[in-house]
Structure 1
Amino acid sequence: MPAVGSWDVVVLLALVLVSVIGAAAVEGVASPRFWRFVTLEVVPIAIIALPMTLVVITGEIDLSVASTLGLTCAVMGDLWAHGVTSLPLLIALCLLLGAVLGAVNGLFVTVFGLPSLAVTIGTLALYRGLAYVVLGDKAVADYPVRWTDAAISPIPGLTIPWVIIVVAVLAVIFGVVLHATPVGRGLYAMGNNAEAARFAGIAVARTKFWLFVATGTMASLAGVFWTFRFASARADNGSGLELAVVAAVLLGGVSIFGGRGGMVGVIGAVLLLSTLRNALQLAYVPANTLTITTGSLLIASVVGPNVAGMVRERLRRRRTA
């Protein structure tokens, strides 16, 4: 599977176009401050979108990621409030929690054979409800300043936060796994035909289980970042973030039916959506319009590649007729 395909190029060109038009038409888009906010917004979405890309390529989906993030924030705040003041230990416990939450999804999907859409809609509500049970409507905000400042500190000499380097390293790791290893080839095979992949010797159930574990773990990592960035642990942290993640993955060219997509397009789509959203906010576009825009792009990301495929197929038939 090539690392860069035609749809990836379309997404990257759209990113450039939106950036240029935004800089020309909206005051402040060309400023370093604007790109600082864009990159800070990108971090949690990209962290979750990386494993989500692999999950969707196999033909599955995880809609519980934002609730996993919120439950992680709630547990992190509750443990801190009850005296667990070693932040490295606290972060490790949060990542372990994410792995367990992802494993619950994975067990229902791979052991009980339930559809991931139904399972993760259920755990979306369950995990968010548990977050309110743990923390209620309280906010825990007394974290050490050195940690909260570190989450948003820029790279020396730049305005871009240093955590974007962590995202870039993770993107390379997930990209290499997807595009340059037998595991990645197996993921595409599962998405195209899970039964054939199973006959070919691919451990379909086990692989999908660990993908859900990875998604849960990365959602918890995003929750840790979210807590430190906003210096506040709340049960409603990250509400609605699953829409942004799924929109980025699908707009990035990953087929909702599995078997197609790549990491380059997804990263480009994450940046595109964040740039567009922040530019529209600077232009004082109402929040409802932003939601409509995201939803429209989500629909376009599903319809567009399929329409393009139909057109290509008709042209091929005409040439061979």
Structure 2
Amino acid sequence: MSLAEGTRPRHIPDRLSGRMGHALRSWELLLLLVGVAIFVANSLLSPYFLSPWNLSDATFNFTEKAMIAFAVAMLIIAGEIDLSVAAIIALASTLMGLALQHGAGTPVLVGVGLLTGLLCGLVNGTLVTRLGLPSIVATIGTMSLYRGISYIVLGDEAFNGYPASFALFGQGYAWWVISWELVIFAVLAVAFGVLLHRTNFGRQVYVIGNNDTAAAFSGVRVQRVKMILFLLTGLMSGVAAVCLTSRLGSTRPSIAQGWELEIVTMVVLGGVSILGGSGSILGVVLAALVMGMVTFGLGLLNVPGIVMSVFIGALLIGVIAIPRLIRLARTGRAA
């Protein structure tokens, strides 16, 4: 997402007003520079940061969340939102644990996780597209529902004893320090990038986000597109549930608690407008890398988890408020 015309700083020469100027003013370039700065700062503040295995461990701070963020980004671009994604992870993990207790093997466990995500996405999509409920209200309700079911089933207990073959998804490595989770993240980033930016479906998502009424009059099947987006979001939550459960090796009802805030922050930090209609998958990828390095760097410095939560909350407020402040300042200058 690029800064609007007219906000270009005066010290940038006019000769940059073409394609190069557009690149230099892009939100993605700013995120890239911030990421480089954080990488350098982390390497200077902690002698352990540049270890290849530590860098590999750092990817676990964002890969599972980013898998969901790709789908949530498209949903927000279309003018909707899903706040139940973390609760879907909890429910999918719980049902995988129940399947495990009945002797299910790895293929069945993976199928249960993915199918649970799809069904939860179907419920969310039905509430929004068929019953006309606001997505923020509907998914807050299902967030409590899905998480509540997990607590009813498990209480204070946990499911353990997942088979060794199931650990491949969250603990296995494709090559050297390259984990399978990172490979899945990269594949999904390319797939969602192509879907959003290179297909007619992606163009419809942008049109709906800018004006769903005009999109409907233009022949776009608005409710069908939104239903597909909710299904995709549920499916990606199921994928994340498989990876996270595999990595932890256990299931608790509190799994992925608070992830919805971090995922929305990741999406908005990536340049996706919370009002819909604009954003890119590249921005979400860069935001995931930035947030992953920040949280991992703070962890290496033994910063308490509550401080990280404060940082995430402040970051979300900042990335939403700053563009509005810029617009107000520009309006004031014009007046």
| Shorter-chain TM-score tier | over 0.9
Q: Do residues 232 (structure 1) and 250 (structure 2) align?
A: yes
1:112 counterpart residue number:
131
The residue number in structure 2 matching 1:246 is 264
After the TM superposition, which residues 280-319 of structure 1 pair with which residues of structure 2 at under 5 Å, given as runs? Answer: 280-310=298-328
Structure 1 stretches of at least 4 aligned residues deviating more than 4 Å after TM superposition: 1-5, 309-315
* CA positional deviation for 1:311: 5.0
- Could you tell me whether the CA contact under 8 Å between 1:8 and 1:264 is conserved in 2? yes
Correspondence for 1:267: 285
Pick aligned residue for 1:23 from 38, 43, 51: 43
How many angstroms apart in 2 are the aligned matches of 1:286 and 1:89? 38
What are the superposed Cα offsets for residues 196-225 of structure 1, whole Å, 9 maximum, x if unpaired?
A: 111111111111011111111110111111
Partner of 2:29: 9
Corresponding residue to 2:142 among 116, 123, 139: 123
Q: Pick closer, same or farther for the CA change 1:287–1:151 going to 2, 3 Å.
A: closer
Partner of 1:93: 112
CA RMSD of aligned residues (A): 1.9
> Mapping of 1:59-78 within 5 angstroms?
59-78=79-98
In structure 2, C-alpha distance between the alignment counterparts of 1:12 and 1:308, rounded to whole Å: 21
Residue identity (%): 39
- 2: CA distance, partners of 1:150 / 1:185: 33
Q: Contact 2:83–2:260 (CA<8 Å) still a contact in 1? A: yes
| CA deviation string 1:71-121 (max 9, x = no partner) | 0010000111122x2221221122111111111111111111111011111
Paired residues of 1:35 and 1:160 also in contact (CA < 8 A): no
Mapping of residues 46-57 of structure 1, within 5 Å: 46-57=66-77
Q: Amino acid of the residue matched to residue 131 of structure 1?
A: S
CA–CA separation in structure 2 for the residues paired with 1:150 and 1:112? 37
Say if 1:77 and 1:135, in contact at 8 Å, map to a contact too: no
CA distance in 2, matches of 1:66, 1:26: 31
Provide the TM-score with structure 2 as the length reference: 0.89
Runs of 5+ in structure 1 lacking a partner? none
Q: Work out whether residues 83 and 143 of structure 2, in 8 Å CA contact, stay in contact via their aligned partners in 1.
A: yes
How far 1:236 moved relative to its partner? 1.5
Distance 1:287 1:162 in 2: 26
Q: Is structure 2 residue 171 aligned with structure 1 residue 152? A: yes
- Unmatched segments (≥5 aa) in structure 2: 3-21
Aligned positions of 1:114-193 closer than 5 A:
114-149=133-168, 151-156=170-175, 158-193=176-211
Q: Deviations over 1:232-274 (max 9, x none)?
A: 1222111111111111000101011000111111111111111
The answer as to whether partners of 2:61 and 2:295 remain within 8 angstroms in 1 is no
Residue 69 of structure 1 aligns to a residue whose secondary structure is: helix
**Distance in 2, Cα, partners of 1:152 & 1:87:** 14
- Whether the 8 Å contact between 1:75 and 1:134 is mirrored in structure 2 is no
- Report the TM-score, using the length of structure 1 for normalisation: 0.93
Q: Does 1:198 align with 2:216?
A: yes
Instruction: From 213, 223, 232, give the equivalent of 2:231.
Output: 213
Quote the Cα distance in structure 2 between the aligned partners of 1:142 and 1:62. 31
Deviates more, 1:66-75 or 1:2-11: 2-11
Change in CA separation of 1:151 and 1:234 when aligned onto 2, cut-off 3 Å: same
The answer (yes or no) to whether the contact 2:207–2:277 under 8 Å persists in 1 is: yes
Q: Deviations over 1:281-307 (max 9, x none)?
A: 111222221111111111111122333
Asked if the contact 2:271–2:284 (Cα under 8 Å) also holds between the matched residues in 1, the reply is: yes
Asked whether the equivalents of residues 18 and 272 of structure 1 are also in contact (C-alpha less than 8 Å), the reply is yes
Structure 1 residue 35 displacement after superposition: 1.3
Is contact 1:77-1:234 (8 Å) kept? Answer: no
Distance 1:149-1:111 versus aligned 2 partners, 3 A rule: closer
